[in-house]
Chain A
């Protein structure tokens, strides 16, 4: 018997029981979809992450954090400096120490600059902004631009924006036009850039200070470049120098030494006044001797005392009020000096040295996260999601296999007489067996093919939703679900093999039917 005849007969027999075949295939389809989505998700996520790392030569990057136990957050450019429960701080000494590790080419501190929102000139809408500061002088972070230029050392109030902000500002189709446009960044407190905070009035009370905290302050900047899309679309870049200035808050504060001096002056004055009071009192007492009436004398003394106390407290108070506003000085609080850098980004000379560099960094008591760790982590996360979907897919496929077995057993019962006829006409046992195996394999094959077609549609929808979510979360992932050719081929092979295995038992059973009995079967 020819293969084409097996296939043709298989199709005919499947077509014969359309609804039953449809339901049997449906189970395979669902299983196939689960498996496809699982694999493409896991592979796609890894592929996309790898591509993006490669676009910035990210595979030789190591991110250093203050906390040695710091868990990776899936983003290589780490700005979270809050992990310093250990008291570790990333400062310039740390940067130098890290640079001295063998195979390290260069290192730059990274600061996540906290800015409340941003707006572009001639528009009112404000947007959330994720701002990262790095040292453009170093050979570490390569920010690919599609318009304008990258940052250079000494660039103050200059910003390179990501694709997300470009879209928000409405320049997605003509990024070159946004170069040179002014943006306004809004911060919560006065920083070491832009306008100085106004000097508070004398006797400023708490409500004045609270109010000052609530106001947002404007910082002007110019867009000089636009980052290539697809790579970390939500992130925008400025120079480390400017970032540090923006992270330095500026406030009016009472100067402690001046305050001390003022209080000393005050107590000296008080002493002097008391001494003078005593001296004057003696003089006044001798004058009082001339007053004969005892009662009148007492009243006069009381009057005199009262006037003096008033005089003293007035003079002291005058000193207090007069110095109050003078005690205020403009003070700068360098947040980086206090908290350390968010992270240090290190470039190694080759991918193979990444691990040894990571180990050396850990020896310094710091946390190190390599691109490989990040990929592993992404793989782990998606691997877990994949495992769950895959397990579901596996169970569904198992049930689908049971469905095929059931369908095929039913078919052998229904066609017992036909089996007898075919045997009488010269079919061998192998012919009968193969006929049912082909039919079962065809059920699996059709399930795989339909599953692939549906998955392709689902992937299109899933990707467009996924891209929106990823963009909103500033996660650097695009078109997570992808369909490599080998996946398509192996899914079809898998479902076909499942079909064949499921058909094996009914097929062998059918092939061993006694032809005479089969012909007599009602």
Chain B
């Protein structure tokens, strides 16, 4: 078992001997190799490791974006392997918020509309989703950028919009895949401080994949990945 420094009372995420293998021609590429992992509710976990070590795949698997070949993934009482597309989508919609390195905002949408996207998918009424999106933009300090399109925003602002988007459905878990990878150190610090605030104020479990030791340093726990395994 991996040593834990959890601060919550129970595990929100439990991975048991999770393996994922890509078939590349005749070769099999093992991306996740029998991973066992428990993450406590409200924990801030940083995942580090070289490129190709499987950290993004691990995050995607937990986020319900990717499927595994074997093992079980239990998140908040739901066994992800057993969910169909609809249930899995609902899971992503309600319990997970994603933040990406490339921000992945929809270029034709305003900041507010981008933040509204999960609510649109959920079928929330127009009035309520506008309000919620505005509230979330306020949390990340962008209340005066509501009607701006992504190309009218700086990199840091874009990432804050995407954090607001991850936040809008009040998820239990936010998964950030190199959220500061495209930002300078000052902006990185801002982003991490927002995420950290969310983690401590709203008890949102935070999983951050990063190359930046300064970012990892902020985490409750650092997982180092190597060749599809957690090495420490």
A contact set with B: CB distance below 8 Å: 1-2, 5, 12, 16, 417-418, 420-431, 515-516, 519
Contact = CB atoms under 8 A, between A and B. Distances in A.
A1 B121 contact: yes
Q: Please name the 9 residue pairs, one residue from A and one from B, whose CB atoms are nearest each other, closest first.
A: A426-B93, A428-B89, A425-B118, A424-B98, A426-B92, A421-B104, A515-B65, A426-B121, A429-B85
Contacts of B92: 423-426
B227 interface: no
Contacts of B25: none
B21 interface: no
Given A417-B104, A431-B89, A519-B100, A425 B123 contact: no
Contacts of A16: 108
B81 interface: no
Most A CB contacts (10 A, CB to CB) among B86, B100, B118, B121 go to B121
Interface string B85-126: 110011111100010100011101000000001101111000
DSSP class of A's interface residues: helix, strand, loop or mixed? helix
A424 B117 CA distance: 11
Contacts of B90: 426, 428
Given A424-B92, A428-B86, A516-B66, A418 B106 contact: yes
Contact of A420 (B91, B104, B105): B104
Nearest to B124: A2
Given A2-B123, A417-B104, A519-B100, A426 B66 contact: no
B36 interface: no
Contacts of B89: 423, 426-429, 431
Contacts of B169: 426
A409 B100 CA distance: 26
A421 B106 contact: yes
Contacts of A431: 89, 121
A472 to B, nearest CB: 56
A422 B121 contact: yes
A403 B60 CA distance: 36
B87 to A, nearest CB: 9
B55 interface: no
B65 A425 contact: no
Contacts of B60: 516
Nearest to A429: B85
Given A516-B65, A516-B66, A519-B100, A422 B117 contact: yes
Contacts of B118: 425-426
Contacts of B85: 428-430
Contacts of B120: 1-2, 5
Contacts of B229: none
Interface string B175-219: 000000000000000000000000000000000000000000000
B104 A519 contact: yes
Candidate in A417, A422, A424, A430 with the most chain B CB atoms within 10 angstroms: A424
A510 to B, nearest CB: 14
A326 to B, nearest CB: 107
A453 to B, nearest CB: 28
18 contacts: A2-B123, A5-B120, A421-B106, A424-B63, A424-B92, A424-B98, A425-B92, A426-B89, A426-B94, A426-B118, A426-B121, A428-B89, A429-B85, A429-B89, A431-B89, A431-B121, A516-B66, A519-B100
B32 to A, nearest CB: 13
B165 interface: yes
Contacts of A5: 120
Interface of B is mostly: helix
A447 B38 CA distance: 56
Contacts, number: 64
B107 to A, nearest CB: 9
A430 B118 CA distance: 15
Residue of B66, B89, B105 with most chain A CB atoms under a 10 A cut-off: B89
Contacts of A12: 108
Contacts of A424: 63, 65, 92, 98, 100, 104
Contact of A425 (B66, B86, B108, B117): B117
A377 B89 CA distance: 61
A423 B98 CA distance: 11
A425 B92 CA distance: 6
Contacts of B93: 425-427
Contacts of A418: 106
B112 to A, nearest CB: 14
Nearest to B89: A428
Contacts of B165: 425
Contacts of B66: 515-516
B171 to A, nearest CB: 10
Given A421-B105, A426-B122, 20 more contacts: A1-B121, A5-B120, A417-B104, A418-B106, A421-B104, A422-B117, A423-B65, A423-B89, A423-B92, A424-B65, A424-B98, A424-B104, A425-B117, A426-B90, A428-B86, A428-B89, A428-B90, A431-B89, A431-B121, A515-B66
A56 B73 CA distance: 84
Between B65, B98, B120, the greatest number of chain A beta carbons within 10 A of the residue's beta carbon is seen for B120
Contact of A1 (B63, B106, B123): B123
A516 B61 CA distance: 10
A515 B66 CA distance: 8
A427 B89 CA distance: 6
A422 B93 CA distance: 10
Contact of B98 (A2, A425, A429, A430): A425
B73 to A, nearest CB: 15
A247 to B, nearest CB: 80
A431 B93 CA distance: 12
Contacts of A427: 89, 93, 121
Nearest to B108: A16
A379 to B, nearest CB: 51
A183 B92 CA distance: 91
Of A1, A426, A428, most B-chain CB atoms within 10 Å: A426
A417 B169 CA distance: 21
A49 to B, nearest CB: 53
B85 to A, nearest CB: 5
A471 B98 CA distance: 73
A5 B117 CA distance: 10
